[in-house]
Structure 1
Amino acid sequence: MKRFGVIIPSSNTTVEAEFNNILSGYASLHVGRIRLRNVNVGELDRFADDVSAEAEKLSDAGIDVLGLACTSGSFVRGSRQYEELERLMTEISSVPSISTSGAVLRSLKQLGCRRIALVTPYTQDVTKLEERLLTDNGFEVVSTRYASIVDNLVIGRVREEEVSRMVLESGWRDADCVFISCTNLRTFGILHALENELGIPVISSNSATLWDMARRAGLKSFRPVLGRLFTMI
């Protein structure tokens, strides 16, 4: 069985629940936390300063792959921040390492998507930074829907039905993929149904992160029902 190391914000209540359920029988989950209570530019900027310490501690667990499961925390300093974080984590842990922002970009490229409908729980300023991440990396954001939530615990309480409603109201008809951002939004129970309803790929921060980690860990038989992305490991 593989060992997955994941770094998450201290207030994240979703990653462990979603990953543990899906990874059962394939990998064990080992988690480090960095202090973050509010999803705003100031706290997100400080978040990145503590990544190296958590990566070093998780490496002591003999992990096979390491993921930084925080979307906004891996793009707040710019559209190439994810690359710097992935290099840092790989150097410290000596195992393949990914960030959520990097995983999202790789997922979209793997799916052949270019026109993105973006759905986030963030405020407008954080969402604008994410739009820049996507456009600077070759994608077109054709529509955006954001919820203006700052408190990360509140984000973790958003029901999947509400996330689905946001997607359906996102202007997705002009897109060739929907991306639901934030690792603290619950999405694993709705991705497959949304893809069937919309007829285009639907990925979330957590599905992209899990897909990229499984791929790096060599879990070729890992096929959870989380949309067409997981047919491409």
Structure 2
Amino acid sequence: MTNVVGARAVFGVIVPSTNTVVEHDYWGARVPGVAYRTGSMHIADPAMRNDRDFEALLVQIRASIDTAVRDVLTAEPDRMVMGMSAETFWGGVAGNAAFERRLRERTGLPVTTGASSCRAALRVLGCRRVAVFSPYQPVADREVARFFTEAGFDVAAISGLRCPSATDIARVGPDRILDMVAALDDPSVEAIVQVGTNLSFVSQADMLEAELGKPVIAINAATLWHALREHGLTDRIPGSGILLREF
């Protein structure tokens, strides 16, 4: 017998306990027959006021990810999706590959990460020169830029919103994001990429694509798209950006 609400697939989704956006974005896409079982990585101290705070936040993630994965596996998912992004970019291309390998070995399941999803998205869109923004501190932005550069992309610019805590990421409104995109964009930039899964951007990215005339990749849309396509599900979904709508 198949799962009633996840007859086509059940995705295990790993998020920080501070994250309120990933599940909203995935369920909002309304993919028929696909269900999500979320596992939460406990973040006792969400501060990320500076580089040291941000690195301490990653330590908390690394200490709690195994428990989150353990809990998700009890739902017998078909795939693991990382609903957090910074850790998947850390260490560049090799760091992401090692992270995915550890998760595959731990779960016996295929794994989708934000870093790999963004790379796959840019390749399918044929975009090489990109501008990137995040809610992060500089230490994390450097790792994000490193990943994209090692993956063969030209990072024209990268900037972080410097959110003071992990919970504050979800409080960033569309006007502040619009200012960030305007500051990063120029005619030479072929795509805008957003990382940081607790930043609400999917619907705004969809609208900005029409205004700017270029791809605007929201990481939550990218990870959902990559997980679906790698799983053989080809649904075209409006309202969540070019990836889910056309590819």
Under a length normalisation based on structure 2, what TM-score does the superposition of the two structures give?
Answer: 0.86
Q: What's the counterpart of residue 142 of structure 1?
A: 156
Opposite residue 60 of structure 1, the aligned amino acid is T
Cα offset, 1:211, TM superposition: 0.8
Q: What's the counterpart of residue 193 of structure 2?
A: 179
Q: What's the counterpart of residue 134 of structure 2?
A: 120
Report 1:206-221 matches (<5 A): 206-221=220-235
Query: Unpaired segments of 5 or more residues in structure 2?
Result: 1-6, 49-53
2:14 and 2:231 mapped to 1: Cα distance? 16
Query: Comparing 216-225 with 141-150, which one deviates more in the overlay?
Result: 216-225
2:27 and 2:33 mapped to 1: Cα distance? 10
Contact 1:48 / 1:74 at 8 angstroms: preserved in 2?
no
Contact 2:209 / 2:241 at 8 angstroms: preserved in 1?
yes
Contact 1:143 / 1:172 at 8 angstroms: preserved in 2?
no
Query: Unpaired segments of 5 or more residues in structure 1?
Result: none
Is 1:4 paired with 2:6? Answer: no
What is the RMSD computed on CA atoms of the aligned residues?
Answer: 1.9
Q: 1:27 aligns with which of 14, 34, 46?
A: 34
Cα offset, 1:13, TM superposition: 1.2
Contact 1:7 / 1:32 at 8 angstroms: preserved in 2?
yes
Contact 2:185 / 2:192 at 8 angstroms: preserved in 1?
no
Cα offset, 1:78, TM superposition: 4.0
2:96 and 2:59 mapped to 1: Cα distance? 13
Query: Comparing 119-128 with 151-160, which one deviates more in the overlay?
Result: 119-128
Q: What's the counterpart of residue 81 of structure 2?
A: 67
Deviations 1:150-183 (A, max 9, x none): 3011111111232222112213432111001110
Deviations 1:129-166 (A, max 9, x none): 21111111111111223211130111111112322221
Is 1:230 paired with 2:239? Answer: no
Q: What's the counterpart of residue 41 of structure 1?
A: 55
Q: What's the counterpart of residue 167 of structure 1?
A: 181
Query: Comparing 42-51 with 149-158, which one deviates more in the overlay?
Result: 42-51
1:195 and 1:162 mapped to 2: Cα distance? 17
Is 1:85 paired with 2:99? Answer: yes
Is 1:56 paired with 2:65? Answer: no
Percentage identity across aligned positions? 26
Opposite residue 34 of structure 1, the aligned amino acid is M
Report the 3-state secondary structure (helix = DSSP H, G, I; strand = E; otherwise coil) of the residue aligned with 1:30.
Answer: strand
1:89 and 1:200 mapped to 2: Cα distance? 34
Query: Comparing 214-223 with 103-112, which one deviates more in the overlay?
Result: 214-223
